[in-house]
């Protein structure tokens, strides 16, 4: 391993990749003190002190999945010079509840599964609502290297009509494209055949993205 490598921050869903990621550089597992589903703003505020206590200095490559993407985005907004790159693995988006519910026709039969799905789409209470409002204000990450991975087959009930499933998939990919647009160096990669939990279902896609961000950072630091 080169003498210089960025520290790779893995959120809790991504922590299962720790053994493989240590081949790329030092790893810090980020576990917010209030829990994974707590305020991402509070999480972003406490992370610098956690990193300092662990002796982990910038630059960092932040790897986050699902709701953890909010904390990564909040951290990047608060610490614009600290990151060498970011990987978002099917990350939540502040517009996802409205977009997904709008994609389901009003006359869709409300089976127990569909009803539960629609309830899930509404989020998980005040923390979700407040988090979406805060993250919606974050837009520009300049030229931060950013790889956005999106599930090719987003999780949804099989019993939904094919047209509705296709509409939900298009909606989700459009939101992930918005994540990528936060940076002039943002890139969207749709992981075909994989559902929401990309870390479990398509770990190689996440590992490849991490490696592609770490290696240029190392090369840049070693250049005269």
Which residue range forms the structural domain that includes residue 13? 7-222
CATH number at residue 107: 3.40.50.1820
Classify residue 175: in a domain, yes or no.
yes
For the chain, residues with pLDDT lower than 70 are 1-4, 217-224
Classify residue 2: in a domain, yes or no.
no
pLDDT score of 222: 38
| Structure-derived torsion over alpha carbons of residues 7, 12, 14, 18, reported in degrees to the nearest 10 | 60
What pTM does this model have?
0.93
Q: What span, in angstroms and rounded, lies between the C-alpha atoms of 129 and 6? A: 33
**Beta strand segments in the chain, E:** 7-11, 27-30, 60-65, 83-89, 146-151, 186-191
Classify residue 14: in a domain, yes or no.
yes
pLDDT tens digits for range 118-155:
999 988 889 999 999 999 999 899 999 999 999 999 99
Residue whose structure tokens are 């994974």: 36
pLDDT score of 219: 52
Q: What span, in angstroms and rounded, lies between the C-alpha atoms of 57 and 82? A: 9
pLDDT score of 39: 92
Comparing C-alpha atoms, which of 8, 66, 60, 104 is closest to residue 199?
A: 66
Classify residue 1: in a domain, yes or no.
no
Q: What span, in angstroms and rounded, lies between the C-alpha atoms of 33 and 39? A: 10
CB-based contact 7:27 (threshold 8 Å): yes
Classify residue 67: in a domain, yes or no.
yes
Indicate the number of domains in the chain.
1
């Amino acid at each position: 391993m080169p003498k210089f490598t960025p520290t790779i921050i893995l959120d809790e869903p991504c922590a299962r990749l720790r053994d493989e990621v240590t081949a790329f550089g030092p790893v810090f597992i980020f576990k917010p003190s209030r829990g994974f589903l707590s305020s991402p703003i509070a999480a972003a505020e406490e992370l610098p002190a956690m990193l300092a206590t662990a002796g982990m200095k910038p630059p960092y490559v932040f790897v986050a999945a699902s709701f953890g993407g909010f904390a990564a985005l909040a951290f990047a907004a608060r610490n614009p010079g600290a990151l060498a790159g970011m990987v978002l693995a099917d990350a939540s988006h502040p517009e996802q509840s409205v977009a997904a519910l709008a994609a389901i026709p009003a006359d869709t039969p409300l089976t127990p599964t569909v009803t539960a799905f629609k309830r899930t789409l509404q989020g998980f209470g005040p923390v979700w609502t407040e988090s979406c409002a805060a993250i919606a204000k974050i837009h520009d990450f300049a030229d931060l290297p950013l790889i956005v991975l999106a599930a090719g087959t987003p999780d949804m009930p099989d019993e939904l009509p094919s047209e509705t499933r296709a509409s939900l998939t298009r909606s989700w990919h459009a939101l992930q494209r918005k994540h990528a647009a936060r940076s002039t160096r943002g890139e969207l990669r749709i992981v075909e055949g994989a559902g929401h939990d990309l870390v479990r279902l398509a770990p190689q896609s996440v590992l490849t993205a991490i490696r592609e961000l770490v290696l240029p950072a190392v090369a840049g630091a070693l250049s005269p």
